[in-house]
Structures are given as structure tokens and as C-alpha cells.
Homo-oligomer: A and B are copies of this chain.
Amino acid sequence: MSSLLEQLIEALRVLPGVGQKSAQRMAYHLLERERGGGERLAEIMKEAMAMIGHCARCRDFSETDVCPTCANSSRDHAELCVVENPADRLAIEQATGYRGLYFVLQGRLSPLDGIGPAELGLDQLVTRLGEGEVRELIIATNPTVEGEATAHYLAQLARQANVRPSRLAHGVPLGGELEYVDRGTLSHAFGSRSEMA
């Protein structure tokens, strides 16, 4: 049976990018200088793991059945922005003045990994586009090979439902990930998005 300290170091390695040395440093830091912060982190982490699910409308993380954004009637329900993951949604929300809604794929089309339309909730998206409320589908998948393929697939779905598809303007660096783009570039790219041909 290993000590509590060893167990803590081992458990910290579940965090992304945290190896043995970083985990050790984190454990010692908490014990030496941040007991209160560590207690609070433990409490919130426990609650978050148990209580955070997915919004039934947009698939983003949410504590409630429908997230505050989807439930907000003052947002423009005619614009729907599709992103790959919650971090991309947050980056757009923070960098731009966008007031429409979102749809979070939680991935991108990747047939070799067994990720097809069903895994990305696209049946749900098709139903929604068919309801007639959405007029523009803003496709903000990442400018990678798989992201581009996903974008073209989404544009097709939009056209079939008579919804105008658009794509963020060039300006987002090719091969980059939205969540790491600086706010200015992202805001500019968002503002000068173009209709997809």
C-alpha cells in the first residue's frame, strides 16, 4: 500500500501534460503552500465530474438539461455556429461579438477512427436545420484536413435544408487549432466569414 502522498502524485498524472516530475511538484506545492486551494479544488472537481453533462440542444458541457446559451431567448436563434469542441466554442464566444447559438460536434469526421455523422450528433443537427428557424450555419471546424472534410459535409447538410452555410475567413492559420489563435485574428476571421460556394 503506497502512501497518500504517492497516491496523490499518481492521481495527478491523469491531468494532460503532467508527468511524474510535474505531478510531484504539484503535490508538494499544494501541501506546502496551498492546502486551502487544494481542498477547494478537490471539492469542485468532485462536483464537476458528477454534475456536468451535455446540453440537449447544443451538446456543449452543461450542468442543466439545456445550457444557459441555448436557453437565452435574447440570442439570435437564426444563426448557428458549429464547432468541433467546447474549447473552440469558448474561444469564439470570448473573441467575437457573436450573439447566435452554437452546435458542438465533440469531434470531427474521422472514418478511420470510427467517428461518423452519428457520433457527432449530425442527425440531431439535420432535424434542427429542418425546423426552419436557422438561416445561417456558420461552420467553424478547424482548418485541418479532417476539419475541412467535416466542413464540406456540414455545408451539404445545410444546403439540403435550404440553410446558408458559411465558413470563417482565411486568417486562421492553416493547420492550427482555433483555441490557440489570438483573439484579434479569430475575431477578424469570424467577422469576414464567407458564404460557402
A interface residues, Cβ below 8 angstroms from B? 3-5, 7-8, 11-12, 14-17, 21-22, 24-32, 34-35, 37-52, 61, 63, 68, 85-87, 90, 106, 179-180
What are 12 A-B contacts defined by CB distance under 8 Å?
A: A4-B44, A4-B48, A8-B44, A11-B37, A11-B45, A14-B37, A14-B41, A15-B26, A15-B29, A15-B30, A16-B26, A42-B43
Task: Write the nearest CB–CB distance from A185 to chain B, whole angstroms.
Answer: 16
Whether the Cβ atoms of B87 and A52 lie closer than 8 Å is no
Residues of the B chain whose Cβ atoms lie less than 8 Å from the Cβ of A3: 63, 68
Docked Cα-Cα span, A150 to B187, in Å, equals 54
CB-nearest residue of chain B to A25: B16
Contact status B48-A31, CB under 8 Å: yes
Q: Which residues of B contact A4 (CB under 8 A)?
A: 44, 47-48, 51-52, 63
Q: Is the interface of A mostly helix, strand, loop or mixed?
A: helix
Asked if B106 and A32 make an inter-chain contact with CB atoms under 8 angstroms apart, the answer reads: yes
Which residues of chain B are near A28, meaning CB under 8 Å?
61, 85-87
Cα–Cα, bound, A12→B48 (Å): 12
- In the assembled complex, the Cα of A40 lies from the Cα of B11 at a distance in Å of 7
Chain B residues lying within 8 Å of A90, measured Cβ to Cβ, are: 24
Complex contact B8–A30 (CB within 8 A): no
Closest chain B CB from A4 CB (angstroms): 5
